[in-house]
Copies of this chain bind each other. A is one copy, B any other.
Amino acid sequence: MNSRRDKKRANLRDVARAANVSVATVSRVLNSPAIVQQDTRLRVETAITELGFHPSAAARAINSGRSKIFGALIPSLDNDTFALTIEAIERRLGQFGFSLVVATTAEVPEQEVQRAKELLDIGVEGLFLPGISHEAALYDLLARRRVPAIAISYFDPGFSYPTIGYDNRKAARLALDHLFELGHQRIAVVHGPKIHNDRTRERIAGASEHRKDVALTFLETELSVAGGATVVAQAMAEKWSFDAYLCVSDVLAFGVLFELQRYGVAVPDVVSVIGIHDLPSSQMTTPRLSTVHLPAEEMGQHAAEALAQWVEDDVVPDAVCFECKLVARETTARKTAVTNSKSASTAPKHPTKDA
């Protein structure tokens, strides 16, 4: 039978033989063509193309100890939260001759460790991790195997690994300040699970820091569009009344916005909604989502460069904090004096406890 693996690839020796040179010379035209004589080089090059020779990455890796592969451990590609950043990383990495293996962890810590092991086993030279709160086992692994890692989407200059991200507290503060300035007082802070997600925790903390006269109600839900919708459905059912929803992630804001509209609550006339992230889709909702812009692609690019330089030149990257800034679009507006809402919230009872 004619298997795919019938004839084997040409190797250095084959090329050397065909070009009548030594393997070393072939290796040279591959790696430093400049130092080999014009005609020998040409001879070798034709031999290479004629034999359809391609150097084996494995063999190269075994010698150099370098795989030229990085790994990224992310919860999911589903919601756009990491997709943009991953793509930015991948693109930039390509320019450095690195490839990226993506491993999704579904935000399950044990799976994260497991996947990290697999990545290290295939020989990745470094890792991108979201945030800094991970299993001790993960950090043990990294330390033992001396694998460089960069925490992204998070900033903490004091952390043992470089963090390249944004000030998540500030992002939340910007959003809250905006709502406050518009006169909103009773604000629902919608967020995903705090556990295993330091970005979420930081943003919640940022909102909490706000010392002014606002009543904050923290509502935890699944980190998804559906999760955002759930929160609103609950608020309507319980007849909670909020001036505004501060969604700690755009993804949640989408769900909140859509569900409010489903209930016929006018946004922003009756209720304001703001997110954090500025995903591409946030410009496309109706009304367009107000949010805090996180420079995710810029961050991805920088993280890629930083990790590449780290393993290439052994320079440990500095922590970097990218500025986030308010993007006030159409889902936030000044609070109207009288709440002449056609919404279901008839009893403006204010909840005081987390859901």
Q: Please give, as numbers and ranges, the residues of chain B lying within 8 Å of A62 by CB-CB distance.
A: 56, 58-59, 62
Contact A87 B91 (CB under 8 A): no
Contact B99 A99 (CB under 8 A): no
User: Any chain B CB within 8 A of the CB of A27?
Assistant: no
A62-B58, A285-B258 given as contacts; is B121 within 8 A of A78 (CB)? no
Contact B314 A286 (CB under 8 A): no
B84, B122, B284: which contacts A78 (Cβ < 8 A)?
B84
Contact A121 B54 (CB under 8 A): yes
Contact A69 B314 (CB under 8 A): no
B76, B122, B314: which contacts A3 (Cβ < 8 A)?
B314
A340 to B195, CA, bound (A): 52
User: Any chain B CB within 8 A of the CB of A86?
Assistant: yes
Contact A261 B281 (CB under 8 A): no
A102-B100, A225-B284 given as contacts; is B77 within 8 A of A67 (CB)? no
Identify the stretch in A112-120, A155-163, A207-215, A234-242 within 8 Å (CB) of chain B at 4 or more residues.
Answer: A112-120
Contact A57 B122 (CB under 8 A): yes
Contact B77 A84 (CB under 8 A): yes
User: Any chain B CB within 8 A of the CB of A174?
Assistant: no
User: Any chain B CB within 8 A of the CB of A268?
Assistant: no
Q: Please give, as numbers and ranges, the residues of chain B lying within 8 Å of A283 by CB-CB distance.
A: 226
Contact B86 A77 (CB under 8 A): yes
B78, B91, B255, B281: which contacts A83 (Cβ < 8 A)?
B78
A121-B54, A122-B57, A314-B3 given as contacts; is B103 within 8 A of A90 (CB)? yes
User: Any chain B CB within 8 A of the CB of A266?
Assistant: no
Contact B121 A57 (CB under 8 A): yes
User: Any chain B CB within 8 A of the CB of A101?
Assistant: yes
Min CB distance A148 to B, Å, is: 7
Q: 0/1 per residue, A62-78, Cβ < 8 Å to B?
A: 10010111000000111
User: Any chain B CB within 8 A of the CB of A146?
Assistant: yes
A58-B61, A284-B258, A286-B261 given as contacts; is B99 within 8 A of A118 (CB)? yes
User: Any chain B CB within 8 A of the CB of A5?
Assistant: yes
A76-B87, A77-B77, A115-B94 given as contacts; is B284 within 8 A of A145 (CB)? no
**Closest chain B residue to A79 by CB distance?**
B280
Q: Please give, as numbers and ranges, the residues of chain B lying within 8 Å of A226 by CB-CB distance.
A: 280, 283-284
A77-B86, A146-B4 given as contacts; is B123 within 8 A of A58 (CB)? yes
User: Any chain B CB within 8 A of the CB of A193?
Assistant: no
A65 to B59, CA, bound (A): 10
Q: 0/1 per residue, A216-250, Cβ < 8 Å to B?
A: 00000000111001000000000000000000000
Q: Please give, as numbers and ranges, the residues of chain B lying within 8 Å of A5 by CB-CB distance.
A: 65, 146, 314
User: Any chain B CB within 8 A of the CB of A144?
Assistant: yes
Q: Please give, as numbers and ranges, the residues of chain B lying within 8 Å of A123 by CB-CB distance.
A: 56-58
**Closest chain B residue to A229 by CB distance?**
B284
A56-B123, A123-B57 given as contacts; is B87 within 8 A of A77 (CB)? yes
Q: Give 19 pairs: A residue, B residue, CB < 8 Å, sorted on A.
A: A4-B146, A5-B146, A56-B123, A57-B123, A58-B67, A59-B62, A77-B87, A78-B84, A78-B280, A79-B280, A86-B102, A90-B104, A91-B104, A94-B118, A99-B101, A99-B103, A101-B101, A226-B280, A258-B284
Known: A62-B62, A99-B103, A226-B283. 15 other contacts (CB 8 A): A56-B62, A57-B122, A58-B59, A58-B61, A76-B87, A77-B77, A79-B280, A80-B80, A83-B83, A87-B104, A91-B104, A99-B101, A259-B286, A261-B286, A281-B281
